Amino acid sequence: MPDRRRPTVLRRDILKIGGSATLLPFASILELAGPRQRAQAGALAVDFKSLDHAQAILLLSVARTVFPHDFLPDEQYTKIVVVIDAKATADNAVAMRVKEALAALPNDFTAMEEAKREEYLRTLEGSPFFRLVYEETIAGLYGDATVSALLGYEGSSVEHGGYLKRGFDDISWLPTDKPVGK
Amino acid sequence: MSAAERFALDDASVVVIVGSGAGGGTLGNELAQKGIKVVCLEAGTRLTLGDIHNDPAAMSAKLTWLDPRVGSGDLDPKVPARICKTVGGTTVHWAGAALRFQPHEWRARSTYGEVAGASLLDWPMTHEEMQPWYDRAEKKMGVAGSSQAGLPRLPGNNNYKVLAYGARKLGYREVHTGNMAINSQPYDGRPACLQIGFCMSGCAIGAKWSTLYTEVPRAEATGNFELRPECHAMRIEHDAAGRANAVVYVDAQGVNQRQRARIVCVAGNAIETPRLLLLSSSETFRDGLANSSGQVGRNYMMHTTGAAFAVMPGEVHPDRGTQMAGIVMDEARHRTDREFVGGFLLESFPPQGPLGFARRAKPGAWGRQYARDIEGYRNVAGLWIVGEDLPQTVNSVTLDPRVRDQHGLPVAHVHHVDHPNDATMRKRAWEVARSIYEAAGAGTIHTRGPFPATHNMGTCRQSASSRDGVCNKYGQTHDVRNLFIADGSQFVNSTSENPTLTIVALAIRQADYISKKMVRREL
């Protein structure tokens, strides 16, 4: 039942991103996170094999529009671009599909308001290109241990003795009254 | 455990059991305890507690039956259903819910009346008749909340508390942490639950009952039981008189073997059990073994399921603690004032990580609003709907005419479409789920349809008459008297309860029946 991750990322292709943030409280993460859309301003410090730099930046913008999390730096989304680049390198049909779809995006796509970008991508929803980006983004982001920890997933617990003494029933915001129904 | 005795392939005095899960593992131990020799063929590998990790993706890969299958109707074409392929079967994976059927559920046809399109029957036995076997099953498994085990119910986690608060606020009264085969206190040499979570990835400390570390090693300790893991049953053979006399299987080395048998019991889950009978067709049994009724593989049921996930106003940390931590039972009662027959349970169910939530809460959703929901992961509460799925002749397990597995055998083709009753019930269950979470203050609530689950039932059903079912009330097939069905395939209707407790109770009863018949030389 749980979804399987695809471990296809080549480590050497990935930027070093800070894994140290894993255990910080959520608020600190928000402070740490840089402004989104950094891709527009800066260069991606990755050598892509199939995509050129402009295509990579465009693809990053698409991935961020699909699952936008302001607290995540571009480096996190870059990992997804790296995976798609590797697929494009391995399969010419994928490369063509991705490059054609990127070329067909509006010229100012990365500069558009997020709502406009989302609106535009809705028109592509059924396309193979969109399905590819969607699939790689959902798996690449939420299957990533750092990201899922930032989102509050606490992972393996058996080595800590489970949650019996670590808050399995520590809910504090529910009213404590015993509601009596109709 | 003592070294398992090796029974010879040509030892025709053994009972051969296919499968080591709730049905096969229990039956094997019960027979072995009575001094009956058993060879248990299990397609999967044998894990130890040390192999069980809190990693749903990795454990799913280890536990799941990944051989190809074909699905149609409402089902995923490639993953139509889920079963486990491991020693212990689905008892390694199950969440532990151990609920008795309700009295009326043994008489579904009489209670619900004629329902167009449904192939309802009454069970060939009564509610009262089953109670002593349920008693024994609860005691064996250490069911928390049952008087038989004498264990109190488990404490409820946060996810349960949200469910319970909302449900009680709506006026529901049968709201509690369930009858669970998870130790609320040390029991039977196994430790108490530590609220680890990850129950469905296997319990790493053995607090949840599984045949992997209860029935199987105990059976081995008698010297009467031999487990053969990684042995995949391919065909059941019979003699000229039409009695089962051997099981052909492929062993761990890929070599075909033939184990002779006095009795054959099949417990491969309601997908693989009918497949094996259909694969065992012969000159005598052209439509498959024990299939004179044409009912082998028919009436496939999987429960009317669905889920709801709600983003609550505060933290829930839904992955902490037992995964099925609580239950609302009020809607499980059959009532005549609803638009559907039968009923449904609501059982708390965690999203199992942000990836699980992103994929499951609203499949295919994306964009800013959904990303916001995902950012609320800490606050997510979730539940699973388990309702009665009406039997329909058209819902079936058949041999796929095209796809073959790694052994060259046709794979199971699983077909299921909702009966209108299922769809109406699910809609009502979503409404109730929504109301419960709203009553507890939810923001966004996502409801969704079924995903592949391990609840598979009905494909070799019991019946009083050999015309409309495959086996009698002991699981003994009508056509081949030394061939038994020992898993959820026997079910006549799905009921609204999780199936395991009833499978175990039926297996204990079947062992009693078989041993008495053997003593009397009637088997």
Instruction: Say if residue A175's pLDDT is above 90.
Output: no
Q: Which of B428, B409, B417, B200 is nearest to B306 (CA)?
A: B428
| Burial status of residue B339 (CB atoms within 10 A of its CB: 0-12, 13-18, 19 or more) | exposed
Q: Do A153 and B359 make contact, defined as CB atoms within 8 angstroms?
A: no
Contact B169 A115 (CB under 8 A): no
Handedness of CA A94, A99, A104, A110 (dihedral sign): positive
Chain A residue with CA closest to B379: the answer is A152
CB contact under 8 A, A134 and B82: no
ipTM: 0.93
Q: Which residues of B445-456 are buried (b: 16+ CB within 10 A; e: fewer)?
A: bbbbebbbbbbb
Residue of A68, A138, A154 with shortest CB distance to B358: A138
Instruction: Work out the burial of residue B148: count CB atoms within 10 Å of its CB; fewer than 13 is exposed, 13-18 middle, 19 or more buried.
Output: middle
Q: How far is B378 from chain A (nearest CA, A)?
A: 5
CB contact under 8 A, A173 and B313: yes
Work out the angle between the directed axes of helices B127-141 and B500-519 (0-180°, nearest 10): 100
The pLDDT of residue B5:
53
Q: Inform me whether the C-beta atom of residue A161 falls under 8 Å from chain B C-beta atoms.
A: yes
pLDDT digits (tens, 9 = 90+) for A73-88: 999 999 999 999 999 9
Report which DSSP code applies to A44: P
* pLDDT score recorded for residue B6: 82
Residue A38 — pLDDT band, cuts 50, 70, 90?
very low
CA-to-CA distance for B388 and B421, rounded, in angstroms? 9
Identify all chain A residues contacting B370, using CB atoms and an 8 Å cutoff.
67
3-state secondary structure of B229: coil
Closest by Cα among A36, A29, A18 to A150:
A29
Q: Do A164 and B193 touch (CB under 8 A)?
A: yes
Mean pLDDT rounded to a whole number for chain A = 80
Residue A169 exposed, middle or buried by CB count within 10 Å (0-12, 13-18, 19+): middle
- Give the whole-angstrom CA distance, residue B382 versus residue B359: 14
Q: In Å, how far is B464's CA from the nearest CA of chain A?
A: 36
* Residues from chain B contacting residue A161 (CB–CB below 8 Å): 194
Query: Which residues are CB-neighbours of A144 under 8 A, at least 6 positions away?
Result: A76, A79
pTM of the model: 0.92
Residues of A in contact with B354 (CB under 8 A): 142, 147-148, 151-153
CA distance B140 to B187: 10
Interface touch A171/B315, C-beta < 8 Å: yes
Identify the burial level of B135 via C-beta atoms within 10 angstroms of its C-beta, where 0-12 means exposed, 13-18 middle and 19 or more buried: middle
Structure tokens at B123: 């069970």
Nearest to B203 by CA among B28, B63, B397: B63
C-alpha radius of gyration, chain A, whole number? 20
- Contact of A131 with chain B, judged by CB distance below 8 Å, is answered with no
**What is the spatial distance between Cα B343 and Cα B334, in angstroms, rounded to a whole number?**
6
Any chain B CB within 8 A of the CB of A1? yes
Cβ atoms B117, B419 nearer than 8 A: yes
**Which residue has tokens 């992955």?**
B319
Task: Answer whether B354 sits within 8 Å of A168, measured CB to CB.
Answer: no
- Are B22 and B487 contacting, i.e. CB atoms less than 8 angstroms apart? yes
Question: For residue B116, what are its two tokens?
Answer: 């167009």
Residue B189: its pLDDT value, please? Answer: 98
Residue A52 C-alpha, separation from nearest chain B C-alpha, in angstroms: 26
Spatial CA neighbour of B391 closest among B269, B281, B488, B290: B488
| A67 CB within 8 Å of a chain B CB | yes
Q: How far apart are the first and last CA of chain A?
A: 38
Of B53, B314, B453, the CB nearest to A173: B314
Contacts 24+ apart (CB under 8 A), B446-449: B446/B308, B446/B309, B446/B310, B446/B361, B446/B362, B446/B365, B446/B373, B447/B306, B447/B307, B447/B308, B448/B306, B448/B307, B448/B308, B448/B309, B448/B360, B448/B361, B448/B362, B448/B363, B449/B305, B449/B306
Chain A residues inside the 8 Å CB shell of B310: none
E strand or H helix at A94: helix A92-104
Alpha-carbon torsion, ordered B355, B359, B361, B364, to 10 deg: 140
**Token digits of residue B101:** 């059927």
Q: How many CB atoms lie within 10 A of CB A141?
A: 27
pLDDT (0 to 100) of residue A16: 32
Q: What is the DSSP pairing of strand B410-416 with strand B445-448?
A: unpaired
A chain contacts of residue B195, beta-carbon cutoff 8 Å: 162-164, 168
- Assign B330 to helix, strand or coil: helix
The band of A13, judged by pLDDT with boundaries at 50, 70 and 90, is very low
Tell me which chain A residues have a C-beta less than 8 angstroms from the C-beta of B168: 178-181
- Chain B contact for A27 (CB, 8 A cutoff): no
Sheet order of strands, B396-404 included:
B70-73, B410-416, B396-404
pLDDT by 10-residue block (mean), chain B, 523 residues: 69 98 98 98 98 96 96 94 96 98 98 97 97 98 96 98 98 98 98 98 98 98 97 98 98 96 98 98 97 98 97 98 98 96 97 95 97 97 97 98 97 98 98 98 96 90 98 98 98 98 98 98 94
Torsion, Cα B268 B271 B276 B278, to 10 degrees, reads 160
DSSP state of B298: -
Alpha carbon distance, N-terminus to C-terminus of chain B: 30
By C-alpha distance, the chain B residue nearest A181 is: B171
- Look up residue A181 and give its two tokens: 């129904």
Task: Please write down the HEC assignment for all residues of B503-521.
Answer: HHHHHHHHHHHHHHHHHCC
What is d(CA B488, CA B271) in angstroms, rounded to the nearest whole number? 10
Q: What local confidence, expressed as pLDDT, does residue A176 receive?
A: 74
A25 touching chain B per CB within 8 A: no
Report the candidate in B356, B257, B509 with the shortest Cα–Cα distance to residue B247.
Answer: B257
